[in-house]
Structure 1
């Protein structure tokens, strides 16, 4: 009897240990969803060699498509879409490549958080894509950031509708601040963005936080409920894309956030980067930039930036994408910001789709001007990758011709023979310190323009008009102009004869070659 009792206890302990071991891991199958019904049918086989992650650990599917990962309650498990395959599409028209693991649900939050999930295997359907060679074209939207359904309408009419049925992109990304604190606007935004008909990645921003969360780990639960993991990877033949939540929530502090990365993100990056060839194009997408918009002010934790850059140092083709500033600029990291790669590291800080938060005077179509504080009109970027990973960028001003690369500002009339003290200004949206910008009067010789650090005079004039107005000119006035990083000036001559004179400006864009614009001014004879 005693022997039987001991055997029963031992068997019970073994059974408990087996259950605990099973509970410590989660499993599933990555399979070829040949009929697209998002269910694993008997005839549908697993796919080997596909990477799956719980946000910290990385697994690769075996010959049957099966993977095993450590179970992490509160995590979001995702498949890293491989080249040549497509993910499932959710009911909101966006990619469905993830499962939440929340056995007890998330903390209760104003915008819902994440409901309790059931157990079982977490399978991932993938569909084989027809082979598409050549370039990969994608759209990059910075900060759409509507505060209301009215703003969602601006986003639709100003940004999305002009593109519907008129593009050849295969991928898109919104670079954070999908909305402006009101997370109930996500469904409306997804309805609009999904009209573009391509897989769309979403980066979380500081205005996508659950501000009633008690800690950083819970601050994106409502975002994750809609868009899936806050940090993940996505692969195309031309490049590997890594999305990272770089907003560290600091509840009760002012400011309530800082740029940075978590330990689980570093663990995921270390595991994932180890799977990539060192010459593979890697694109890191974040919301808060890695550079410091205000020099000396630590807006992104430098210790985290140093650690990330050390992990990327031996990768020869890295591109950083960021947003957040509601300005536009190119930044090239070097040893001064902790980058020690063979070449400077390019970060493109894209202008905002919402511009200056949908502010300013409305045009004839009822859409606000919303020029950003550095004088860049609102819009988005086209990003193209060659098969070898080389890339090109083009900024598209919303609803403007595709060749609009700059805005010019010049006085309309000057006195003939006056001291030449007035200038023409060129705000070159994609300009940087290496840009060659020139101008000429009539058909004269081309002369270099000088890069200056000062506010864009077009926006300064708008600020003055707002100041002088007796009534509001728009829902919100235009932002106060700040020094632009891409403004050039040339002196207008006053000795070239009475009458009207043509001024041409050209810039030699590193990707698009020579681009031009022009304006006119007049010289009049003044009376004493």
Structure 2
């Protein structure tokens, strides 16, 4: 044999020896000293499931598991109730690792680097009750944070993160005001996709802002989280997965089971470049996992693209996939669907028309955007854009509270509120004319945009402590946003980086006709809305009646 051939074979042999085969086993253990490493005497945890998004295996009495090593997949532990996880350097929970033995496609934002991990041990710590923990599981819901620049990341931090920190702050009673403690804002956080707006290099900065909450945070992939230079759907979330791990996974708490699904099917080529739907591998995961899920808990499904069609003239979520998923969910008595993407807010109750055949309608909450209308609009005194959404909902975040037995409550939290403005509360905003002619035909109304309003919500108004009268739900643009559109139109120069969105149809708007046969002068308007989870909510405004000469 020639010397050069011998050298080449030797180098190949060394290369193969230096590159160990991917590990297909590991353990799940109780991390008693909190160092995220399995030390002598730390026991394994029996019965914990480990998955790669397709296969699911269970740890034995010593905590050991064996999971087939498939290149390109992400292995993760399904966090069991009663345990917490270590935190990575970026503040995210440490429950996954990617397997990449050969270079993937060359992508602008890097994708997943080659990494053949050693056998992965997953650390769990027994959860200790927090002194701030309430009877219900508290979950922060962010949809579409979607910064397109570092300036937008700054808005996200000062507007959304600061608001959540303030809401969760505690007054220690020492006269120095409220203080935020890590983990005090909630027990868990979930971002429902479009973590950034196409610029995936912003992930680290956004993560640093989110980590200030000190809350375990889960991420759904959105259509603006794609590697758009990928040539196939299978490679379109490689960079996302490098930062956030699996795009399909489960997470368990005593009160609820969370399943996160990537439902953005990337279609390279002509428009549209994506559609909502699921893949065979995801159905394989669901078919293996769902039979193990306790039915007394709330089952929460988190996605980005809504399950209902958002365009009147085309299918935006594949009907066959929706019907197949709904059939798998049918045995569960307590299910909540969470979605984002629309940059409006809406409650949808699925029935037979959309493929749901359960005993009760299936509730989908399409969560309003943290970025509102993409961080647009005139800035306030703090330099933060108005960011109102096209349906008139202020930007902000939602909160889900889950109690035992599958019961839950939802609420919307606007990022900024002026405490002196009684017409804009956390629950609604009012719009009414400032002055009307006394005796005029009663054709002008007060409008109430009830942010968490549903089709069957009861909304009433009264004038000057008079009798309560029903308001009528209307589907039309929010008049307050229409007025903002007019201010943008009439401005001689730009009022912000981007103007507020053109007002579109709001599905949670109510109208009441204002009387004009009252005394001259000012009159008080009061509106009350009956929230499905939090009872009566009120807001107030005024109008005036004047006489007019012909």
Q: TM-score, normalised by structure 2?
A: 0.90
1:206-217 matches, within 5 Å, as 206-217=223-234
Q: Partners of 2:36 and 2:103 in 1: how far apart?
A: 24
Question: Are 2:147 and 1:146 aligned?
Answer: yes
Deviation at 1:23, TM superposition (A): 6.5
Deviation at 1:464, TM superposition (A): 1.5
Structure 2 SS opposite 1:393? strand
Q: Deviations over 1:413-465 (max 9, x none)?
A: 00000011111000000001110000001011000000001000111111112
Q: Check the 8 A contact 1:455/1:484 in 2, yes or no.
A: yes
Structure-2 separation of matches of 1:493 and 1:171:
48
Query: Which of residues 506, 513, 519 in structure 1 aligns to 2:535?
Result: 513
Q: Give the aligned partner of residue 15 of structure 1.
A: none
Deviation at 1:278? 3.0
The answer on 1:257 being equivalent to 2:274 is yes
Q: Which residue of structure 2 aligns with residue 487 of structure 1? A: 509
Output aligned runs, 1:213-292, within 5 Å: 213-292=230-309
1:390 aligns with 2:417: no
Task: Note the aligned Cα RMSD (angstroms).
Answer: 1.6
Q: Is the 8 A contact 2:44 2:63 kept in 1?
A: yes
CA deviation after TM superposition for structure 1 residue 163, in Å? 2.6
**Partner in structure 2 of residue 84 of structure 1:** 82
Counterpart of 2:477?
A: 455
The counterpart of 1:333, out of the listed 346, 350, 359, is 350
Partner of 2:135: 134
- Residues 24 and 70 in structure 1, CA contact (< 8 A), matched pair in contact too: no
- What SS does the corresponding residue of 1:95 show, helix, strand or coil? coil
Q: Quick one: distance in 1 between partners of 2:230 and 2:426?
A: 43
Distance 2:278 2:396 in 1: 28
User: Are 2:419 and 1:421 equivalent residues in the alignment?
Assistant: no
Equivalent residue pairs, number: 508
Structure 2 distance, partners of 1:24, 1:141, is: 36
Distance 2:41 2:113 in 1: 32
Q: 1-side partners of 2:185 and 2:495: how far apart?
A: 38
* 3-state secondary structure, aligned to 1:454: strand
**CA distance in 2 between partners of 1:481 and 1:403 (Å):** 20
SS of residue matched to 1:174: strand
Q: What is the CA–CA distance in structure 2 between the aligned matches of 1:311 and 1:212, rounded to whole Å?
A: 34
Q: Which runs of 5+ in 1 are unaligned?
A: 1-18
Q: Deviations over 1:36-82 (max 9, x none)?
A: 22221122221110011011011110111111122211000000000
2:500 maps to 478
Q: Contact 1:158 / 1:367 at 8 angstroms: preserved in 2? A: yes
Q: CA deviation at 1:231?
A: 0.9
What secondary structure is seen at the aligned counterpart in 1 of 2:462? strand
For residue 279 of structure 1, report the CA deviation from its aligned partner: 3.2
Q: 1:34 to 1:286 in 2, by over 3 A?
A: same
2:212 aligned residue: 195
Residue in structure 2 matching 1:108, options 106, 109, 113: 106
Match of 1:375 in 2: 392
The match for 1:161 is 162
Q: Distance in 2 between matches of 1:180 and 1:247?
A: 15
2:119 is equivalent to residue 121 of structure 1: yes
- How far off its partner does 1:222 sit? 0.4
2:95/2:122 contact within 8 Å kept: yes
How many angstroms apart in 2 are the aligned matches of 1:110 and 1:142?
Answer: 25
Show CA shifts across 1:160-212 (max 9, x none).
12332614411111111110000000000010000001100111100000001
Shift of 1:267: 0.5
Partner of 1:294: 311
Query: 2 CA distance for matches of 1:367 and 1:131?
Result: 37
1:490-516 deviation line (CA, Å, top 9, x unaligned):
001100110000000000111111110
Measure the CA separation in 2 of the matches of 1:406 and 1:222. Answer: 39
Which 4+ runs in 1 deviate beyond 3 A?
22-25
Moved more, 387-396 or 239-248: 387-396
Instruction: Tell me how far 1:304 sits from its aligned partner.
Output: 0.5
DSSP 3-state at the match of 2:461: strand
Q: Give the conservation status (yes or no) of the 8 Å contact 1:23–1:71.
A: no
Hey, what's the Cα distance between the residues in 2 that align with 1:86 and 1:354? 30
User: What is the CA distance between 1:131 and its match in structure 2?
Assistant: 4.2
